[in-house]
Amino acid sequence: MSSVLKIYALFIGSALLMFGGGLQGLLLSVRGAEEHFSLLALGLIGTGWSVGFVAGSISVPMLVKRVGHIRAFSIMAAIGTVTILLNLMWINDVGWILLRAFSGYCFAGAAMIVESWLNEVADNRSRGTIFSIYVTINMAASTLGQLAMSVTGTAGFVPFIVGAISFICAVLPTAMTSTPQPRPISSAKLDVMLLYRTSPLAVIAAFACGMTNGAFGTLAPVYGYAQRLDASAIAYLFSVTAIVGALAQTPIGRLSDSMDRRLVITALSGFAGLVGLLTVLINPGNGPMMFILFGLYGFGAYPLYAIAVAHANDFARDGEFGRVAGGMLLILGIGLAIGPILASWVMNAIAPVGLFIVTATFHGALAVTAFLRMKVRPVRDARGRVRFRAMNAEKGVSPGTVTLDPRAEDHQDDLPPERPRPATDRPVIDASPEPGATP
C-alpha cells in the first residue's frame, strides 16, 4: 500500500481519462442516433476507435522515448480534449468517424504511459496489488462516466464540455507528481503465430470477444434508443451491464483456476449466446426485462477475455507470457474493428435487435470450439497454470497492460531463445516442473 500511495497521481489521472472516455463513448452512440446517422456510420465510429487504438499501441512508445512520460501524457490528454470538443463543433458522421480514431489513439497512448509508469514503481510484492487497483479504478471510472450521461443528457453542449473538463484535468495529477519518470516504454510483442501454436482456442476466443464486445459496446446504445429509452435509461442500462460483468470476473476467474478453463469458457460463452438469443426472441421493450437481459449478458460476456488470456498462458512456455498475451491483443483489436461494421449491416438488414444475432452467433461458435478442444487436448496440470487476473477487454487493454500484469513478472524468460518448441501443439503434461522453472 505504501507503493500505491506514492503513485496515487497516476491512478487519479487514469481515472479522469476513463471517466471522460466512458461518457464520450456512450454519448457519441446515442447522440449519433438522435442526429439520424446511418447504422453503418455508427458502426464505423466504433471501428475508428479500434483502428486508432492499435495505431497508438504501436507508435506511442517512440513518442515517449522522444519527449518523456509527462509530456507524452499531456499530449494524449490534449488530443482527447480537442477531439471531444470537435465532436461538438462538427456534428457529422464522417467527421465523427475520423475523430473517433484520434480518441482511440489518445486512450492507447495514455494507458501505455500510465501502465509503464506503474510497472516501473511496482516490485514483485506490490505488482499484484497495483495491477488490481488499477484495473478496478478504470472499470469504476468508466462506469461512472456512463452514468454521468443520466445527469448531463445528450442534447446541447453540456455533456461534451463535461467530457473535455475530465480529459484536461487528467493532466494535473501527473504534472504535479514528484515520482521520478520511468525508463522508455517497453511494450509487448504482438506475436500471433506464437499464440496460435500455443493455443488455437485462444485465437478464436480473442476474435470472438473482439467481435461481440466491439458490436455491443458501439451499437447496444443505438438498440436502446430504438427501444425508446431516453438518455438516462440508456446510461443506467449500460451501467448495470458493466457492474454485473465486473463483479462476475473475480469469482468466475478464481473458479477457472481450479478446473479446466475451457469448460468455463464453454459455459460462459454458451450462456452469453443464450442471452443474446432470448433477446432476439423476446425483443424486450423499455421495461425491466431489458435491464435483466443486459445484466445477464454482462455476466456471461465480460469475463471471457480475461479467462481466455489465462488459458492461453497455461500452455505457454516460460518467458512467453508477454508475447502470447500481446498476440491476443492484436486479434482482439481486429475483432473490435470488424464487429461494429458487421453488426450495423445486420441491424440495418433485419432490425435493431439483429445486434444480438451477431453476439449470439460468435458466442455460440466460441462455446462449440471450446467444447471440442477439450476432446483434442488434455487439461493443463494445476501446478503449471498461471493465476487469473481481471481486466476490461471492451476498450481498456493495451500492450502496457500486458507488461504491468504480474503474471509477466512471474514468468520471465529463463530459457535460451533458440530452444525449440515441440512440433505438436499438444504438450506432454508432466507433474514435475523443469529445473529452474516456476512451480
For residue 25, the domain's CATH number is 1.20.1250.20
Q: Which domain holds residue 400?
A: 2-410
Reading the block at residue 145, the C-alpha cell is 462516466
| Residue 22 forms part of a structural domain | yes
Q: Is the dihedral of CA 231, 48, 211, 407 positive or negative?
A: negative
Longest dimension (CA), the chain: 65
pTM confidence score: 0.83
Q: Is residue 18 situated within a structural domain? A: yes
Question: How do the residues of the chain divide into helix, strand and coil, expressed in percent and rounded to 5?
Answer: 75, 0, 25
Dihedral (Cα; 334, 337, 342, 347), 10-degree rounding: 150
Closest CA to 126 of 57, 134, 238: 134
Q: What is the DSSP letter of 398?
A: -
What are the angstrom distances between the C-alpha of 267 and each of 113, 183, 272, 367?
36, 42, 9, 7
431 within a domain of the structure (yes/no): no
CA angle centred on 111, ends 97 and 79, rounded to 5°: 45
How many structural domains does the chain have? 1
Burial class (CB in 10 A: 0-12, 13-18, 19+), 149: buried
Beta carbons within 8 Å of 167's beta carbon, 6+ residues apart: 16, 17, 20, 77, 80, 81, 84
Amino acid making up residue 172: L
Any idea what the Cα angle at residue 22 is, between residues 17 and 27, rounded to 5°?
125
Q: Is residue 421 part of a domain?
A: no
Alpha-helical (H) ranges within 283-382 are: 288-301, 304-314, 321-349, 355-376
State how far the Cα of 273 lies from the Cα of 267, in Å rounded to an integer: 10
- Which residues neighbour 208 within 8 Å (Cβ) at sequence distance 6 or greater? 269, 304, 335, 362, 363, 365, 366
Residues in the chain predicted with pLDDT less than 70, given as ranges, are 1-6, 123-124, 177-191, 318-320, 322, 380-385, 393-396, 408-439
Query: Are the C-beta atoms of residues 328 and 312 closer than 8 Å to each other?
Result: yes
Domain membership of residue 435 (yes or no) is: no
Q: Please report whether residue 88 resides in a domain.
A: yes
Give a yes or no: residue 418 inside a domain: no
Per-residue cell: 280: 432476439
Could you give phi then psi for residue 279, rounded to 5 degrees? -65, -40
Note whether 9 and 173 are within 8 A (CB).
yes
Q: In this structure, how many other beta carbons lie within 10 angstroms of the beta carbon of residue 177? A: 18
Domain membership flag for residue 437: no
Q: How many whole angstroms from its chain centre is CA 344?
A: 20
Contact 306, 402 (CB under 8 A): no
